[in-house]
Amino acid sequence: MNYPNNIQNMINDFQFLTEWEDRYMHVIDMGKSLPSLDESEKIESNKVKGCVSQVWLISDKTNDPDPTISFRGDSDAHIVKGLVAITLQIFSDQKATEILKLNATEILKELGLDEHLSLQRANGLKAMIARIKDYALQALN
């Protein structure tokens, strides 16, 4: 698959980690490096529904016909904050049309995360991705 550099680099990093425990720790480390949102941003309208842990997602976009959208996010759980970081690395700073084309399920499979996430975490991740795709759709209208 031909992914943007930021996604390909992340895939390469994960492929280097052959053990699930190493990948798990890498996800947590990615979450630790994600800047926390300000408490004033952790409001109901920024909350992602469908996540067991609390997850907040904020988007900013340029004023172009096909805007570039950047995302910021946070969670109250370490592993989930890592999943937020991965999701943001996949989608942030992309054009809205590119966001809609990206197949996050395939990317997560390439990262080796798809078969190790609990059903609840996988559903939360799907909710986050759906929210991001929804932002992209709204940005184009």
Tell me, what amino acid is at 6?
N
Of 10, 27, 30, 51, the active-site residue reads: 51
pLDDT of residue 112: 86
Please state, in angstroms and rounded to a whole number, the distance separating the CA atoms of residues 103 and 107.
7
pLDDT of residue 52: 80
pLDDT of residue 61: 97
pLDDT of residue 20: 87
Q: What is the 3-state secondary structure (H, E, C) of 88-108?
A: HHHHCCEEHHHHHHCCHHHHH
- Please report, for the domain that includes residue 47, its CATH number: 3.90.1010.10
Number of domains in the chain: 1
Please give the order of strands across the beta sheet that includes 68-75.
55-61, 68-75, 94-95
Parts of the chain with a pLDDT under 70? 1
Residue 95, token pair as written in the block: 């054009």
pLDDT of residue 45: 96
27: left (phi over 0), alpha (psi -120 to 50) or beta: alpha
91 counts as catalytic: no
pLDDT of residue 116: 83
Domain enclosing residue 42, as ranges: 5-140
Please state, in angstroms and rounded to a whole number, the distance separating the CA atoms of residues 136 and 98.
9
